[in-house]
């Protein structure tokens, strides 16, 4: 499958490498294809491509939003909204407010519990099929996370059932257990998981963890 990743930061590059390892074709969308990190990534990943946001959005059969949440709307506009029509879009963004510092380890958000960033993006892309994923763990553990044989849990949500099945298959190949939390409104608590995940890192320098949903057998 052709995977178009919007964003060439560390999350985009890590996910791009992961999709390549799973046999997909990948284009990394960036504002500058000559950026040193992008050039290095291309050299290290055989068959990888990089292009502009519009070119990447046109290339991708499945899209990944791997950009900072505060520029997500702008980036989608540069891509061209029509390029997302009908496509599964993995939303890995978080609405972190970079104008304010964390308070006792708690990151500030520019959204509220009444509306998630994903809900805003779904309204912006009414014909796309958004699925929240990859937003509640650090980039070091997004692909084949090793926690001593225990699979961590990736919480997902979205309005399209087939899109969620597609993303669940991807997550399974990436080494994750998946929990479908329902419709787009569930992105409100799922996005908040990023805040919770970051607290140990910000206050104690501990970034080597992931979430797991434990279930009692009936």
61 neighbors 40 (Cβ within 8 angstroms): no
Question: Could you give all domains of the chain from N- to C-terminal order, each with its CATH number?
Answer: 2-204 (3.40.50.720)
Q: What's the predicted TM-score (pTM) here?
A: 0.97
The string of pLDDT tens digits covering residues 26-53 is: 999 999 999 999 999 999 999 999 999 9
Residues 84 and 37: their CA atoms lie apart, in Å, by 26
Partnered with residue 154 across adjacent β-strands are 178
The string of pLDDT tens digits covering residues 82-125 is: 999 999 999 999 999 999 999 999 999 999 999 999 999 999 99
Contacts with 42 (C-beta within 8 Å, 6 or more apart), sequence order: 48, 49, 50
Contacts with 164 (C-beta within 8 Å, 6 or more apart), sequence order: 131, 156, 157, 158, 180
**Average pLDDT score over residue span 180-186:** 98
122 neighbors 184 (Cβ within 8 angstroms): yes
Residues 88 and 84: their CA atoms lie apart, in Å, by 8
């Amino acid at each position: 499958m052709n995977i178009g990743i919007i964003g060439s930061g560390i999350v985009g590059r890590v996910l791009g490498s992961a999709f390549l390892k799973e046999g997909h074709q990948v284009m990394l969308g960036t504002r500058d294809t000559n950026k040193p990190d992008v050039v290095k990534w291309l050299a290290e990943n055989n068959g990888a491509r990089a292009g502009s946001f519009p070119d990447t959005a046109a290339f991708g059969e499945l899209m990944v939003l791997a950009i900072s949440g505060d520029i997500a709307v702008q980036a989608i506009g540069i891509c061209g909204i029509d390029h997302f029509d009908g496509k599964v879009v993995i939303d890995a963004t978080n609405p972190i407010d970079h104008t304010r510092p964390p308070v006792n380890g708690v990151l500030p958000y520019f959204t509220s519990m009444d509306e998630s960033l994903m809900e805003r993006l779904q309204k912006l892309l009414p014909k796309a099929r958004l699925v929240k994923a990859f937003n509640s763990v650090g980039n070091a553990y997004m692909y084949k996370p090793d926690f001593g044989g225990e699979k961590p849990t990736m919480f997902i949500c979205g309005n399209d059932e087939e899109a969620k099945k597609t993303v669940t298959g991807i997550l399974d190949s990436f080494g994750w257990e998946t929990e479908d939390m329902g419709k787009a409104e569930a992105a409100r608590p799922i996005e908040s998981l990023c805040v919770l995940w970051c607290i140990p890192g910000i206050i104690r320098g501990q970034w080597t963890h992931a979430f797991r949903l434990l279930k009692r057998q009936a």
